[in-house]
Amino acid sequence: MIKKLVSFTKGYTFYAVITPILVMLEVSMEVTLPFVISKIIDVGINGDGGTPYVLKMGLIMVAMAVFSLIMGGLAGRTCSVAAVGFSTNLRGGLFAKVQDFSFANTDKFTTSSLVTRLTTDVNNVQMSYMMLLRMLVRSPMMLITATIMAMNINLKLSVVFLVAIPFLGGAIALCGGFAYPRFIKMLKRYDLINENVQEDLAAIRVVKTFVRENHETEKFRKSSEDLRKMHISAEKCLIFIMPVMMLTAYACVLSILYLGGGYIMKGAMTTGELTSFLSYIMQILMSLLMLGFIFVMVVMSRASATRIVEVLNEKIDITDHDADESLTVEDGSIEFDNVNFAYAKGAENFVLKNVNLKIKSGETVGIVGGTGASKTTFVQLIPRLYDVTEGQVRVGGHDVKNYKLDVLRGSVAMVLQKNVLFSGTIRENLRWGDNDATDEEIENACKTACAYDFIESFPDKFETVLGQGGVNVSGGQKQRLCIARALLKKPRIMILDDSTSAVDTATDKKIRNELKKNLAGMTTIIIAQRVASIMDADKIIVMDNGEIKDVGTHAELLERSEIYRDVYYSQTYVEEAKNA
Amino acid sequence: MPKPKMKMKGGAGPANFRKTIKRIFGLLRPFRGLFALVVVFIILGSIINVAGTFFIRTVIDDYIEIDNPDLKRFALALLVMGSIYLMGVITTFVYQRIMLTISAGILHKVRYDMFAHLQKLPIKYYDTHTHGEIMSRFTNDTDTMREMMSNAIPQLINSSITLVAVITGMIIFSPALTGIVFLVIIIMVAFVSRIGKISGKYFVKQQKSLGEVDGYIEELITGQKVVKVFCYEDTVKQRFGKINQELRHNATTASTAANILMPIMGNLSHILYALIAIVGSLFALNPQLGVTITTGTLITFLLLTRTVSNPITQIGQQLNNVLVALAGAERIFEIMDEKEEVDDGYVTLVNARIDESGNILESVERTGVWAWKHPHKADGTVTYKLLEGKVTFDNVLFGYEENRVVLNNISLYAKPGQKVALVGSTGAGKTTINNLINRFYDVPDGKIRYDDININKIKKADLRRSLGIVLQDTNLFTGTVMDNIRYGRLDATDEECIEAAKLANADSFITRLPEGYSTRLTANGANLSQGQRQLLSIARAAIADPPVLILDEATSSIDTRTEKLIEKGMDKLMEGRTTFVIAHRLSTIRNADAIMVMENGEIIERGNHDSLLAQKGKYYELYMGLLELS
């Protein structure tokens, strides 16, 4: 885990290394200063040094303080650069990793948990990393110097440390041990809270139409209350540390006073020595407490670090490491060879069963089938959004697994059933299809997708800003923007997954005609509820319950496929039109 | 002490901070008693702490450095002191424990209040803010508040008391030297406020960047599928890199400012020490300067000097933390200050029954008959009006933004029990009509009436309760299938839920799920197909049993065969209810009583299926568009 995390200090390693050195220099001044101070008192004021001596030592002290100030200031800067740099790297690394995740990977973590891991957990780790850089050198150094000094004054009295240090250390470790599992639990509660908020934000229209605001609030109150309890139960373990520390400190002071007092009465020690000894023991305990705090922080952030490393170490189950780098998608032919598919590994029921199919390059293929017939699942295998469980999918004559993912997906455009636009302008959203597209290309794509006119009707035209999810355009407009976005990719294969469902029939038809006119040679797969959208396709696939039931042209299917006939007659009103 | 100036460019002014602090204390109100207790305990603890330091001196002077030291008396004194110390330990523990309860409680309250308030905000707020931005207030900003509650405030109190005690001691010992101390303290305070200013400014920036980064993370992880389909991973990474770097810049500056505070303060105090030593020894060794000071006093004074820097540093550092938390708190209050959806409606919806003489009486239990309860302010009387489901639009003019008219002079009329269909090209304004009926947005011009009552007079919750709406974008909740159906009416029995599912033809696929109705749905029902999700949301609306139904493209992802199958159910559902159907699939609306054809925010044709066909206008074109190849 440490090794994994250390690799993210890259670019800031210098700062991470220099910080402890600067701190060391700063601390070296800090521990020498008491010497100078005692000299000022003993020689200058109490002794016969007089004002000149005090002046001399005073100036030395000022010089040391200035030096220490500069070192400390620099350390403050370097450790900020190092720690913030580290967390920036870490966040960037996590984000990049998550971008490479397959959907199976994402589902495993859930999106809300991933969001917490990239935000709250990274912040936690950054905090404790900063603490480590600054304190891990400082505290032990103070601890050791103070211990040596104290032992120098009176070895026998130092026995007190031998009891105090393990006691305090043990107590801190015990608290940390209790706290760790509770902190893990607390973070899980955080995930739940986030999930709760996220879901509510997404479904706010449903919440409002059903007047379920209070219901949602009550649900949230429960999970927030759970978090509150877990928060208390986790931190409860930690609030023991401070009192235990005080207890130890006071016990030390009293026993040293008692023992030391005895020595003084016997004449074996001076009062000056006793006071110094006392101040050293305070220093020792303070450093120990600091170490304790570092320990606690590490415990708290270990829970976060574990969750981060989990993401970083997640094996991505769709990769293109074995792909042939030079392979490009030559044509838009598609082949399904004995394909079986299930979303979950080891699931007994396949969602797609024994699918065999050949689509020639440039063909237009329609897919019809009932709700839950696995049409979407079927087309998602083509750009390798999921990997087949058994069998093979070939595009352009090669197994999809042999292509680099960007090559494959660059050639297969897919307009999803659930369209997502991102916050930004319309133009920015369209550029997803092609970052270097000229204005003319963008306009053409929009014209083909029948989106140009409505975009032009907006006051800001292509610069119209869309909210998250494209809330300020209508469902049908959103779909047409998504088609235009996909067209800009100039793909060999275009998959339209029920992507004109909110578009009226006339526009739908116009889009299909435009596609045919402007993009001859592109393989087009259309999933549609409307038979009209697909009846003139070269090939129509009838799916039911994860299986291909029939393939043929409209006329053929009308004749032999009962399912197709059913679908067709449920939508056409020939008889009625005749009667009318 | 000069007041640290906190005004910053583009940020919040001091007045704002003062207001924020006041509000935070407002949050403390429910914990008033406990908080007072904590303050008492902290003060007690600090006093015991200070007393302990003086005690050591006394013990040495009175028990050890005397002529006839008695170990027994000495031990007894230590024992007394030990028990006082023990009290100190216990106070510390108790105040920390109480503080934990308070801070966890306040966090819970803040989260809860924020969430509850969010529920009351108008849809417009959600349409104009990213989810991540809102969520970051639940995470980052509440976190900084926790930090402030559990650490900064107790430390501040603690340090202030110590500071006061030490300075009082100093003044008693030597007012002259205290003058020097004050001089240096002023320098220190100047540093603290200067650095605090910088760090405060950048912390505000940092929190803002953090919000942006979180927003981006949320949006892009949710939209992962699109990213994949467009191979946009690298571009997205790059864009993220940019805002991530911006966050780094702001966070580094903010944290540097916070980190250099301690070395500066610590070493300034060393310089102060040297100054005091030099000046003090000058006075002590040269009585002719006019300030008399004994060496003993000087030593004690020097001891006090060593302890004065610690509380000042602490105060500086904690003030910094408070600044951060205030920035976070301001962002939280920003949400809480967002104007709630205005609801000045006073007409409410009640269960009703009709007695023999035809009077409408309010009823406590569900009767299936609803009535509008209309109180009259003028004479204090209440009239009841039976809910029939008549909806009229009277010259309605509407646009989401100024200068962009979406609905232009719309007038329409739905008689009780009628099925009214809205058809037309995309973007014609069909969904907007739905948004207006349920008052997601308010109409600036024209009137919408519901049973002849202006809908602005109806309480929003009651208005929406009377409408069953199935939206195009289905949103399901984490929970079982049964829970999701029951969302429509929380007191529905399992049987009623199953009945509703059967009506929507969802029963057959639900029973095929691994655990049937108890199957847990996660992440908006990711394990269901889009069409299945729509069937579930129809069932959800069916169980609510509303007098008026609005189906906004409710069956767009359901295949026509299934649609045929649910048609019977749907017909039964619509029976006796005023129903608005928004659809472009004309098969669903052929039997509508009235069909409105919309274009560019206007109704261009109206009539029923046959009359519209006969008109051979737009409807005819749309309808034939479906037919032309057969």
Instruction: Specify if A575 maps to a domain.
Output: yes
Q: Which residues of B touch A231 (CB under 8 A)?
A: 104, 107
Q: Which residues of B touch A40 (CB under 8 A)?
A: 277, 281
In this structure, the answer to whether residues A282 and A348 fall within a common structural domain is no
Alpha carbon of B217: minimum distance to chain A alpha carbons (Å): 7
A251-262 per-position pLDDT tens digit? 888 888 888 888
Q: Among B433, B337, B336, which residue's Cα sits nearest to residue B111?
A: B336
pLDDT beyond 60 at B1: no
In this structure, the answer to whether residues A92 and A159 fall within a common structural domain is yes
Q: How confident is the model at residue A81 (pLDDT cuts 50, 70, 90)?
A: very high
In this structure, the answer to whether residues A399 and A505 fall within a common structural domain is yes
Q: Which residues of A touch B522 (CB under 8 A)?
A: 110
The number of distinct structural domains making up chain A is 2
A110-157 per-position pLDDT tens digit? 777 788 888 888 888 888 888 888 888 888 888 888 888 888 888 888
Alpha carbon of B355: minimum distance to chain A alpha carbons (Å): 30
Coil vs helix vs strand at B451: coil
Task: For residue B60, give the nearest of A274, A376, A458 by CB distance.
Answer: A274
CA B424 to chain centre: 38
Length of chain A: 580
B494-503 per-position pLDDT tens digit? 888 888 888 8
Q: What is the DSSP string of A146-166?
A: HHHHHHHH-TTTTHHHHHHHH
Residue B629: phi and psi, rounded to 5, are -90, -10
Q: Do A101 and B535 touch (CB under 8 A)?
A: no
Alpha carbon of B298: minimum distance to chain A alpha carbons (Å): 9
Instruction: Specify if A320 maps to a domain.
Output: no
Q: Which residues of B touch A95 (CB under 8 A)?
A: 217, 220, 237, 240, 244
pLDDT beyond 70 at B15: no
Share of chain A above pLDDT 70, in %: 96
Q: Which residues of B touch A371 (CB under 8 A)?
A: 509, 529, 531-532, 535, 557-559, 562
Q: CATH no. for residue A240? A: 1.20.1560.10
pLDDT beyond 60 at A341: yes
Task: For residue A243, give the nearest of B89, B270, B509 by CB distance.
Answer: B89
B117-130 per-position pLDDT tens digit? 888 888 778 777 77
Cβ atoms of B499 and B561 closer than 8 Å: no
Which of B265-274, B288-297, B441-450 shows the lowest mean pLDDT across its residues? B288-297
pLDDT of residue A576: 46
Q: Give every CB contact of residue B134 below 8 A, 6+ residues apart in sequence.
A: A197, A201, B118, B335
- Residue A266: exposure state from Cβ atoms within 10 A (0-12, 13-18, ≥19): exposed
Domain-terminating residue out of A267, A284, A313: A313
In this structure, the answer to whether residues A441 and A402 fall within a common structural domain is yes
Alpha carbon of A78: minimum distance to chain B alpha carbons (Å): 8
| b/e map A442-479, b = 16+ CB within 10 Å | bbbbbebbbbbebbeebeeebebebbbbbbbbbbbbbb
Q: Which residues of B touch A61 (CB under 8 A)?
A: 270-271, 273-274, 277
Q: ipTM, 2 decimals?
A: 0.77
pLDDT beyond 70 at B603: yes
In this structure, the answer to whether residues A453 and A524 fall within a common structural domain is yes
A429-459 per-position pLDDT tens digit? 888 777 788 888 888 888 888 888 888 888 8
In this structure, the answer to whether residues A308 and A343 fall within a common structural domain is no
Task: For residue B627, give the nearest of A30, A62, A577 by CB distance.
Answer: A577
Share of chain A above pLDDT 90, in %: 4
> Could you tell me if A263 lies within 8 Å of chain B, comparing CB atoms?
no
In this structure, the answer to whether residues A405 and A440 fall within a common structural domain is yes
Helices (H), A101-240: 103-109, 111-116, 122-153, 159-202, 204-209, 213-236
Coil vs helix vs strand at A459: coil
Q: Which residues of B touch A51 (CB under 8 A)?
A: 278, 281-282, 285-286
- Tell me which of B61, B188, B267 to substitute to probe the interface with A (most A C-beta atoms closer than 10 Å): B267
* Tokens, residue A125: 């780790």
Dihedral of alpha carbons B337, B341, B347, B351, sign: negative
pLDDT of residue A346: 65
Q: Which residues of B touch A111 (CB under 8 A)?
A: 221-222, 224, 523
Element (H, E) at B589: none
pLDDT beyond 60 at A574: no
Residues B527, B533, B537, B539: what is their CA dihedral angle, to the nearest 10 degrees? -90
Q: Do A221 and B131 touch (CB under 8 A)?
A: no
* Tokens, residue B570: 């749907």
Q: CATH no. for residue A465? A: 3.40.50.300
Coil vs helix vs strand at A357: strand
pLDDT beyond 50 at B2: no
In this structure, the answer to whether residues A104 and A135 fall within a common structural domain is yes
Instruction: Specify if A203 maps to a domain.
Output: yes
Residues 47-86 of A with CB under 8 A from B: 50-51, 54-55, 57-59, 61-62, 64-66, 68-69, 71-73, 75-77, 79-81, 83-85
Q: Among B143, B105, B139, B155, which residue's Cα sits nearest to residue B324?
A: B143
pLDDT beyond 50 at B617: yes
CA distances from A9 to A17, A85, A302, A392, B495 (A): 10, 7, 17, 42, 59
Q: Among A110, A106, A102, which residue's Cα sits nearest to residue A401?
A: A102
Residue of B nearest to A206 (CA): B475
Domain-terminating residue out of A263, A282, A313: A313
Residue A281: phi and psi, rounded to 5, are -65, -30
Provide the 10 A C-beta neighbour count for residue A250.
21
pLDDT beyond 60 at A580: no
In this structure, the answer to whether residues A65 and A139 fall within a common structural domain is yes
Helices (H), B224-291: 224-229, 233-259, 261-285
**CA-atom Rg of chain B in angstroms:** 36
Distance in Å from the first CA to the final CA of chain B:
90
Q: Which residues of A touch B118 (CB under 8 A)?
A: 200-201
pLDDT of residue B630: 27
Q: How confident is the model at residue A86 (pLDDT cuts 50, 70, 90)?
A: very high
Q: Name the pairing type of β-strands B370-375 and B348-354.
A: antiparallel
Provide the 10 A C-beta neighbour count for residue B406.
22
> Could you tell me if A173 lies within 8 Å of chain B, comparing CB atoms?
no
Cβ atoms of A562 and A370 closer than 8 Å: no
Cβ atoms of B467 and B438 closer than 8 Å: yes
pLDDT beyond 70 at B298: yes
pLDDT (average), residues B209-227: 79
Beta strands in A480-546 (DSSP E): 493-497, 523-527, 539-544
Whole-angstrom distance, CA of residue A291 vs CA of residue A313: 30
* Upper half-sphere CA count for residue B575 (Cβ side, 13 Å): 8
Question: Taking CB atoms and an 8 Å cut-off, how many pairs form between chains A and B?
Answer: 507
pLDDT (average), residues A396-405: 83
* Upper half-sphere CA count for residue B246 (Cβ side, 13 Å): 13
Q: Do A99 and B108 touch (CB under 8 A)?
A: no
Q: Do A376 and B244 touch (CB under 8 A)?
A: no
pLDDT (average), residues A350-365: 84
Q: Do B278 and A383 touch (CB under 8 A)?
A: no
Cβ atoms of A525 and B622 closer than 8 Å: no
Q: How confident is the model at residue B4 (pLDDT cuts 50, 70, 90)?
A: very low
- Ramachandran region of residue A521, left (φ > 0), alpha (ψ -120 to 50) or beta? left
Q: Give every CB contact of residue A140 below 8 A, 6+ residues apart in sequence.
A: A287, A291
pLDDT of residue B369: 78
Instruction: Specify if A324 maps to a domain.
Output: no
pLDDT beyond 60 at B195: yes
pLDDT beyond 50 at B10: no
Q: Do B559 and A370 touch (CB under 8 A)?
A: yes
pLDDT beyond 80 at B225: no
> Could you tell me if A485 lies within 8 Å of chain B, comparing CB atoms?
yes
For A342, the domain range is 334-579
* Tokens, residue B599: 């274009």
Q: Do A385 and B563 touch (CB under 8 A)?
A: no
Coil vs helix vs strand at A334: strand
Alpha carbon of A315: minimum distance to chain B alpha carbons (Å): 17
CA B317 to chain centre: 28
Cβ atoms of A305 and A123 closer than 8 Å: no
Q: Do B104 and A83 touch (CB under 8 A)?
A: no
Cβ atoms of A542 and A534 closer than 8 Å: no
Instruction: Specify if A328 maps to a domain.
Output: no
pLDDT of residue B628: 40
Q: Which residues of B touch A373 (CB under 8 A)?
A: 559
Dihedral of alpha carbons B563, B565, B568, B569, sign: negative
Give me chain B's average pLDDT, please.
Answer: 79
In this structure, the answer to whether residues A226 and A174 fall within a common structural domain is yes
Provide the 10 A C-beta neighbour count for residue A361.
18
In this structure, the answer to whether residues A273 and A405 fall within a common structural domain is no
pLDDT of residue B13: 41
Q: Do B225 and A385 touch (CB under 8 A)?
A: yes
Beta strands in A237-343 (DSSP E): 334-341
Alpha carbon of A30: minimum distance to chain B alpha carbons (Å): 9
pLDDT (average), residues B202-207: 82
Residue of B nearest to A58 (CA): B274
Q: Do A239 and B560 touch (CB under 8 A)?
A: no
> Could you tell me if A376 lies within 8 Å of chain B, comparing CB atoms?
yes
pLDDT of residue A132: 85
Whole-angstrom distance, CA of residue A524 vs CA of residue A520: 10
Coil vs helix vs strand at A552: strand
- Tell me which of A39, A101, A190, A209 to substitute to probe the interface with B (most B C-beta atoms closer than 10 Å): A209
Instruction: Specify if A489 maps to a domain.
Output: yes
Instruction: Specify if A522 maps to a domain.
Output: yes
Q: Do B247 and A88 touch (CB under 8 A)?
A: yes
Q: Do B427 and A383 touch (CB under 8 A)?
A: no
Cβ atoms of B521 and B506 closer than 8 Å: no
pLDDT of residue B53: 67
Q: Which residues of A touch B150 (CB under 8 A)?
A: 235
Q: Among A549, A508, A563, which residue's Cα sits nearest to residue A532?
A: A508
- Only one residue has tokens 């933004």, namely B401
CA distances from A223 to A191, A195, A196, B100 (A): 10, 10, 8, 19
Element (H, E) at A548: strand A547-552
pLDDT (average), residues B550-564: 74
Domains of chain B with bracketed CATH: 14-337 (1.20.1560.10), 348-386 (no CATH), 391-627 (3.40.50.300)
Residues 352-371 of A with CB under 8 A from B: 368-371
Q: What is the model's pTM?
A: 0.75
Alpha carbon of A423: minimum distance to chain B alpha carbons (Å): 8
Whole-angstrom distance, CA of residue A453 vs CA of residue B269: 72
Domain-terminating residue out of A256, A284, A313: A313
- Residue B9: exposure state from Cβ atoms within 10 A (0-12, 13-18, ≥19): exposed
Instruction: Specify if A51 maps to a domain.
Output: yes
Strand partners, B560: none
pLDDT (average), residues B250-268: 84
Cβ atoms of B519 and B512 closer than 8 Å: no
In this structure, the answer to whether residues A348 and A234 fall within a common structural domain is no
Q: Among B269, B272, B578, B256, which residue's Cα sits nearest to residue B413?
A: B578
Q: Which residues of B touch A529 (CB under 8 A)?
A: 556-560, 585
Helices (H), A314-438: 375-380, 405-411, 426-430
Task: For residue B64, give the nearest of A85, A265, A529 by CB distance.
Answer: A265
> Could you tell me if A99 lies within 8 Å of chain B, comparing CB atoms?
yes
Give me chain A's average pLDDT, please.
Answer: 82
> Could you tell me if A270 lies within 8 Å of chain B, comparing CB atoms?
no
A510-555 per-position pLDDT tens digit? 888 888 777 778 888 888 877 777 888 888 888 888 888 888 888 8
